[in-house]
Structure 1
Amino acid sequence: MKAQLVTATALVATLATTLAPPPVQASPAAERPPGGEHGWVTSTLRHMSLPQKVGQLFATYVYGGDATEPTAADRAANRAAFGVETPAEVVDQFHLGGICYFSWSHNLDSPRQIATLSNGLQRAAVGDGTKGRVPLLISTDQEQGVVLRMPAPAAQFPGSMALGAGRSPQAAREAAEITGRELRAVGIHQPYAPIADVNVDPGNPVIGVRSFGADPTLVADLTAAQVAGFQDGAGATAVAKHFPGHGDTATDSHTDLPVIDHTRQEWDRIDAPPFRRAIDAGVESIMTAHIVVPALDPSGDPATLSPTILTGVLRGELGFRGVVVTDALNMAAVRRKYGDDRVPVLALKAGADQLLMPPDLRLARDAVLRAVATGELTERRVDESVRRILALKYRQGLARSPLVDVEQAVRTVGAPAHLAAVARVTDPTLTAVRNDAGLLPLRPGRRSVLVTGWNSAAFATVETVAGGFTARDARVTARPATLPSDKVIAETAALAAEHDLTVVLTNKAWDTAVTDPRGTQQRLVAALLGAGRPVVVVAVRDPYDIAYLPGVSTYLATYSYTRAAMDALVRALHGELSPRGRLPVTIATADGSGTVLHPYGHGTSW
């Protein structure tokens, strides 16, 4: 069989290719080459060899901030992962259809660097310009909030659950449009957003604040608004995820295989509406979930590998005609039942088009080629997916203009108008959940303030809040205590007793199984309350923390820890901003009884 594969590959590799797309600079996605989408797609596909077609099905990461001159460490990482040293060589070697940028793979530093990298990778993809060479579709996880990849000066909006608290489709659309514009400026086409999952399980370890909320109608409205913002406003490709719905699970698909026990009726009522609305809004791509949904497919296969779910439900029942991209194939959930050589083949047989981040790219590529050589997959089936991918690239304007203007990227990313919009969108999302003692807003006067608790290295949350108090003439002590030891808890409580006010930040304090196994955040808050001075507790991620913090009378939720969110918090504490956010989820008591502590839609103000 190996000999057959080599022979087939050698034969298709001899096909002649001609006609180079002009190497012009970036233009709007609406600019199309003569001949139209069908003509370009058909002509391009006709000139592609089988390895080139199969390469189009894969999108993966590469190491390095420059396409041809990565650091020595990134060269070594590429060599270990792909057998070649530079990002450009990875693209050329595997005929890749897409690249996904990450900070950990050193792709994202500054607007100039990212735009230059994108151009270098596109030149590697197009090569000599022959028709079998196709520009890349470049992606990243720019959900905003707690999942964002583009560093400052990029506009850093609040995430989905914050937008859910703000209840404004217009704000959700504006955030998506500006995000999409900045991504397009640096050569990124797919933001892998919006999140269409309905987060009905407070213990969900993987979605949580990445969801707009627990109400299917709210999630559907904001999902559709963001699809319009990304696509109609910015010319980017929206990617609704994770189909058929990852919101009701207490299992993280990065580490295990979740099972969603919704009945078919529950799925239709809870999970389906946001995806239906996304499709109605014209979403061009949908990402699969590595989850088992027995009501949709009793086989036990994850949705990513299920023909019943992807072809039967998504394409057949919901009528989706765009590109189906898998969630990352290096996640544990999709690898539990089948080997890494089988997963990409089964995903294609199920109806997926774009295969994201297989753990071994060469193994995955060769497995698909072998499946075609043996007849398990037909070349016609491969062509179906390649056609969808090429059509998407055409609509992105890549057939004519794969390159971006680097200087324009520098001017666009973090433009003053964009940063002003960040504050405008963020302010109405802040939610005051409790103000039982009437502590807020703080009365005028000079006071001593301790700011402590969870701290983000990237956003310096404790220091940012402390700086806000200092600017308002308070005497401030900033003491980060992310997961404090017993000694630090005791020392911090002693400090609280010496201050007029303590502000403590928490992040997933409810999650004593994974995030905070020793319950240190809960114990820190209890110790601070025991100091006998006023305490303001602020959940900078999941709003559910309050259920695990008895005795707290003053509690706010920001849903993310961006600088804009922390700035809005400080202004609200001082009465300069009236909290307007309303809970987009229900907060139940921690005893598992289902008793409602704070209902959906709750929020107070001053």
Structure 2
Amino acid sequence: MSAWGRATTLVLAAGLALSGCGVIGTARADRMNSWVTATAAKMSLPEKVGQLFVTRVFGPGADTADPRNREMAGVDTPAEVVRRYHVGGVCIFANTGNVQNPPQLARLTNGLQQAVGAGPGLLVSADQEQGLVVRIGPPATQFPGNMALAAAVLGADDDDTAVRDSATITAQEMKALGVNQNYAPDADVNVNPANPVIGVRSFSSDPELTARLTATAVEGLQDASVSATAKHFPGHGDTTVDSHTGLPVINHSPEEWERLDAPPFRAAIDAEVDTIMSAHIVMPKLDTSGEPATLAPKLLTGLLRDELGYRGVIITDSLGMEGVRAKHPDDQIPVLALQAGADMLLTPPKLDVAINGVLDAVRRGVLTEKRIDQSLRRVLELKWRRGMLTPQQVDLAKIPQVVGTREHLATAKRISTDAITVLGGQLPWRSGKSTLIVAAKQEQLDAAAEVVRTYGPTETMVAGTDLDAVLAKAKQFDRTILLAGRAHEELAKKLATLDKPVAGVAVAEPYVAKVKLPVWLASYSTNPDSVRAAMNVLFGAAPGKGRLPVEIPGSGR
């Protein structure tokens, strides 16, 4: 008998029952099962299928017409999208006009829930990973991303408080705005420094550290009543291709996968994560079909369900990404995903095409209604556990008491400071000398200059493509600070030729620090708090307590 089977036997013997992704008392399980069964029995086939889709909508208000809604779904407003297609969820994005300010977002989510009518409430989701991937910007509290959080944890002698606080506060603020599901945490182990899409979104290159912090983040989100999502199964950490634009292939053997990729997902399952998101990646040594994991039964059903024992909701990554659209038409992709074992289908490019594709597959016998019912049950169980028996409304008057409060902002500032890692060099720098700050964007320069100007004459320069112009400018100053992203390796090499003090601050992945500069720090984040914190460490106003959560090839670090 497997470990999961032994655990199940013991649980049932103790008078408990297994829900979709956790252990609950039998009385509570009976109530859940009764509600799920009764709710499903009232649904038509189109209503059942609709519950399996999470769509994007366009515009700032539920009743605001936007031509992009008609292009995607054949209707004018977000509310009409919800009513016509009976969708199980809506995913919020800033670039669809959904997010302007906290009261507006809360009115939108309230309007979307009202559009449901008498059915179960909507899952309103967002990719609020923090750091590099954020859909709800200021005045909501902005934390640095996972790699910075891991650096803070390591610098605090493995105390996970930074991760738990970030997850809890993020969830509290999302919940206050009517967003009840977070597509976070990222559970990928970033073992490839050239990874173009994960990087600082990952906690670490250490599978065990990533596993522990993934579980902490799941618990922090879900203890604050926001559904968490571990992503991207079976692991997107060792790729050089972005699945938004191509189809990555990861050649991990079963043994390598078990050692490198599996631990965070096992930890998330043990933490009773509500949802796991599939990746549009091919793993030919785990599955010979050549399909991305999202469409691969051997990976979603065989590996995730059967081997790892996951019983919660499996959601696809966006069905609009090229990694999943490379081989199949848009009306067939959701059908193949359901056949593979997915339960929810995220943001297809044409909602009407995708839903009609599934309905047609059921009518033709390619999919059975029983298969639809299996996924529907998991979705409804999730909604029951999160109190979504009916559409919920949020109180706009309470938003200022939760979103971007002084206490929350102070916590984000503390964590940003605790993450700063001194990678090498003699600190602190002294005041009274002229300083040039170079960065990719003006907002980074403004945050840095706010601190550096207190220590002497300071100018800023946006780093363009003319590296010699930057070098010539730097020669006019006593010292130079480079806020370095992954594209700045060649510029760092140019500045290394100066016979003057140069400090690099890795504001994204720290791998750029393989270039030899007199001083290197890592903030892992371009957030203003992180940039200011790095400057404070550089000039001795704060300690650099963070520790590096990844290895930097070629640097000795």
TM-score of the pair, normalised by structure 2: 0.91
Q: Which amino acid aligns with 2:382?
A: L
Give the equivalent residue in structure 2 for 1:442.
429
The alpha-carbon distance between structure 1 residues 51 and 401, as it changes in their structure 2 partners (threshold 3 A), is: closer
Deviation at 1:179, TM superposition (A): 0.5
Unaligned runs of 5+ in 2: 1-26
The alpha-carbon distance between structure 1 residues 329 and 401, as it changes in their structure 2 partners (threshold 3 A), is: closer
Give the equivalent residue in structure 2 for 1:210.
201
Give the equivalent residue in structure 2 for 1:120.
111
The answer to whether the 8 Å contact 1:453/1:504 transfers is yes
Aligned positions of 1:133-152 closer than 5 A? 133-152=119-138
Give the equivalent residue in structure 2 for 1:249.
239
Q: Which amino acid aligns with 2:40?
A: L
Give the equivalent residue in structure 2 for 1:93.
84
Find the aligned partners of 2:304 and 2:465 in 1 and give their Cα distance. 49
State the Cα RMSD in Å. Answer: 1.7
Find the aligned partners of 1:156 and 1:426 in 2 and give their Cα distance. 10
1:111 corresponds to 2:102: yes
Give the equivalent residue in structure 2 for 1:503.
481
Give the equivalent residue in structure 2 for 1:557.
522
Find the aligned partners of 2:162 and 2:495 in 1 and give their Cα distance. 37
1:231 corresponds to 2:222: yes
Give the equivalent residue in structure 1 for 2:269.
279
Q: Which amino acid aligns with 2:476?
A: E
Give the equivalent residue in structure 2 for 1:53.
48
Find the aligned partners of 2:98 and 2:417 in 1 and give their Cα distance. 31
Find the aligned partners of 1:350 and 1:268 in 2 and give their Cα distance. 21
Find the aligned partners of 2:244 and 2:29 in 1 and give their Cα distance. 44
Deviation at 1:340, TM superposition (A): 1.3
The alpha-carbon distance between structure 1 residues 292 and 491, as it changes in their structure 2 partners (threshold 3 A), is: closer
CA offsets per residue over residues 530-584 of structure 1, 9 Å max, x none? 443211111110111122x3x4121111111111111211110111211122211
Deviation at 1:523, TM superposition (A): 4.1
**Secondary structure of 1:102's partner?**
coil
Percent identity of equivalent pairs: 48
**Secondary structure of 2:520's partner?**
strand
**Secondary structure of 1:479's partner?**
strand
1:466 corresponds to 2:449: yes
Find the aligned partners of 1:403 and 1:48 in 2 and give their Cα distance. 23
Give the equivalent residue in structure 2 for 1:535.
502
Deviation at 1:353, TM superposition (A): 0.5
1:479 corresponds to 2:461: yes
The answer to whether the 8 Å contact 2:122/2:391 transfers is no
The answer to whether the 8 Å contact 2:421/2:545 transfers is yes
Q: Which amino acid aligns with 1:94?
A: Y
The answer to whether the 8 Å contact 2:113/2:391 transfers is no
Give the equivalent residue in structure 1 for 2:93.
102
CA offsets per residue over residues 32-66 of structure 1, 9 Å max, x none? 99983222211111111110111111111111011
Find the aligned partners of 2:363 and 2:556 in 1 and give their Cα distance. 59
Give the equivalent residue in structure 2 for 1:171.
162
Find the aligned partners of 1:293 and 1:60 in 2 and give their Cα distance. 27
**Secondary structure of 2:486's partner?**
coil
The alpha-carbon distance between structure 1 residues 307 and 402, as it changes in their structure 2 partners (threshold 3 A), is: same
1:290 corresponds to 2:280: yes
Find the aligned partners of 1:545 and 1:203 in 2 and give their Cα distance. 11
Give the equivalent residue in structure 2 for 1:365.
355
The answer to whether the 8 Å contact 2:484/2:505 transfers is yes
470, 473, 478: which one aligns with 1:492? 470
Deviation at 1:473, TM superposition (A): 4.6
Give the equivalent residue in structure 1 for 2:211.
220
CA offsets per residue over residues 128-177 of structure 1, 9 Å max, x none? x2xxx332101111111111111101111110111122234221111111
1:545 corresponds to 2:512: yes
Give the equivalent residue in structure 2 for 1:598.
556
Q: Which amino acid aligns with 1:296?
A: L
439, 451, 463: which one aligns with 2:437? 451
